[in-house]
Amino acid sequence: MLYVVGFVDGRNHGINDAAEALGTKIDDPRISKLASKVTVGQIFDGVDDFYKDWRNRKVLLRHAMEYVLDEAQGKDDSALLLYMRQTDSGQKK
């Protein structure tokens, strides 16, 4: 759980830094598209469900969390999932 909290905090910090670098606020359209309304709990539950599928066991956690976050936001990452299963398990093709 702490890893997920750190991931979300780091992401939020990066978004704030981007807004500051552009001299704007988070509601600026260039920045707001980076923000997410997905909660730590949703990511935690999504990662738990993700690893219940035995095919995902060798996918790195940082990659799984990005996938779960995208999925929660309605993005289709099915091609990314197949790629992660191949590369993260050491079967680079």
Q: What pLDDT, on a 0 to 100 scale, did the predictor assign at position 52?
A: 95
> How far is the C-alpha of 33 from the C-alpha of 24, rounded, in Å?
14
| 1 alpha-carbon distance from chain centroid | 14
Kindly state the DSSP code that residue 13 receives in the 8-state scheme.
Answer: H
pLDDT tens digit string along 42-92? 888 999 999 999 999 989 888 898 889 888 888 887 777 887 888 876 554
Q: What pLDDT, on a 0 to 100 scale, did the predictor assign at position 32?
A: 74
Asked if residue 50 lies in contact with residue 68, where contact means CB atoms within 8 angstroms, the answer is: yes
Kindly state the DSSP code that residue 55 receives in the 8-state scheme.
Answer: G
> How far is the C-alpha of 19 from the C-alpha of 24, rounded, in Å?
5
Say how many C-beta atoms besides its own lie within 10 A of residue 84's C-beta: 19
Q: What pLDDT, on a 0 to 100 scale, did the predictor assign at position 93?
A: 45
The mean pLDDT value for 19-39 works out to 80
Q: What pLDDT, on a 0 to 100 scale, did the predictor assign at position 90?
A: 53
Whole-model pTM: value is: 0.67
The mean pLDDT value for 8-15 works out to 82
